[in-house]
Structure 1
Amino acid sequence: MPLEKAFWEKKSLQDMNTEEWEALCDGCAKCCLHKFIDDDESEEAKPTDVINAGETIVYTNISCHLLNTKSCECTAYQTRTALVPDCVKLTKDNLKDIFFMPPSCAYRLLYEGKALPDWHPLLNKGKKAAMHKAGQSVRNKTISENDVDLESFEHFIVTWPLDTP
């Protein structure tokens, strides 16, 4: 008897209900890192609203002050966009603009027609242990934005958020 497909395998992102949508988030917290657009022609870091040809996203290990780095969870999830105006709430409507999400992001993977990685909590009884063990979360890798001068972000550039197993 064949196993029934999981909801993310049989539903499109657009067809998922709120509970299913929220369950897709692996809780890695890479989206809570400060990111900048690297443009060789500009001397200044630019916000990540739009990315043009020849530009790349640069990640730092500087995290939002609302992030609990041990649990990799926002301490004010329901009100985060009001408290942090630059915080992006990923929705079905803005999904097409997810260039700033890390390559391991479940929303991005499914949007691009790819499978969830084997460390994803949905494939591990809802537990994050496999994700942490695979080094796919921000746990023990960040510094709070409250503890750094954001003007010196270039000293905090990292590539590990882009690594995928």
Structure 2
Amino acid sequence: MTDDPIDRTGLAPRFWETKPLSRMTRKEWEALCDGCGKCCLNKLEDEDSGEVALTRVACRLFDDTTCRCAQYETRHRYVPECITLTVKNIEKNLYWLPETCAYKLLWNGQPLYDWHPLISGTAQSVHDAGVSMQYRTLSEADMSEDDWEDHVIEEPT
């Protein structure tokens, strides 16, 4: 991906190190997304243990070339259950967020990785680091939910 759909221009340098998540503007919040695409993967949760397994089966709106939602602004029209992550609901959603997720890292007081676009200056860095799901997914539109467990993967980190 050469073009970054997230506008990171005009943001204060390293704002995430001095500004709490609860005080970020929408633009700052959106800029935290590294574009890995792992949050768009379907997960399987064990009802007994609560353990969450990641699959390579992506939401039908996920574009694995760009690692972005093809209908981000209107996604709820097509996928009503898609979660809009906010500072108000992040704590209850931490369990399924990727380990490399900037929102999760910052919530837990950890720094962003060097490959994060806010640090590297390029959206391509997440793909070059091998952390993204670029070209690694199957669409949920092409398979039955019963087959998802055949596609459980380890998170690329």
List per-residue Cα deviations over 1:58-95 (Å, max 9, x = no partner): 11000011111101111110111231022111011101
- Report if the CA contact (8 A) 1:67-1:73 is conserved: yes
- Report if the CA contact (8 A) 2:41-2:57 is conserved: yes
User: What's the TM-score, normalizing by structure 2?
Assistant: 0.87
- Whether 1:118 aligns to 2:126 is no
Q: How far apart are residue 133 of structure 1 and its match?
A: 1.4
Q: RMSD of aligned C-alpha atoms?
A: 1.4
Q: Which structure 2 residue ranges, 5 or more long, are not aligned?
A: 1-11
Equivalent pairs, count: 145
Matches within 5 A, 1:100-139: 100-125=96-121, 127-139=122-134
Q: How far apart are residue 55 of structure 1 and its match?
A: 2.3
Give the aligned partner of residue 25 of structure 2. 17
Q: Helix, strand or coil: the match of 2:43?
A: strand
Matches within 5 A, 1:43-122: 54-97=49-92, 98-122=94-118
List per-residue Cα deviations over 1:74-129 (Å, max 9, x = no partner): 1110111231022111011101112110110000000000000111011111x222
Q: Helix, strand or coil: the match of 2:126?
A: helix
Q: Which structure 1 residue ranges, 5 or more long, are not aligned?
A: 42-53
Give the aligned partner of residue 38 of structure 1. 46
Q: Helix, strand or coil: the match of 1:60?
A: strand
| 4+ aligned runs moved over 2 Å, structure 1 | none
- Report if the CA contact (8 A) 1:70-1:139 is conserved: yes
The amino acid across from 1:64 in the alignment is C
Question: What fraction of aligned residue pairs are identical, expressed as a percent?
Answer: 40
Q: Distance in 2 between matches of 1:153 and 1:75?
A: 22
Q: Which has the larger radius of gyration?
A: 1
Give the aligned partner of residue 9 of structure 2. none
- Whether 1:157 aligns to 2:152 is yes
Give the aligned partner of residue 45 of structure 1. none
Q: Distance in 1 between matches of 2:37 and 2:81?
A: 15
Q: How far apart are residue 5 of structure 1 and its match?
A: 5.9
Q: Distance in 2 between matches of 1:140 and 1:156?
A: 15
The amino acid across from 1:29 in the alignment is G
- Report if the CA contact (8 A) 1:64-1:144 is conserved: yes
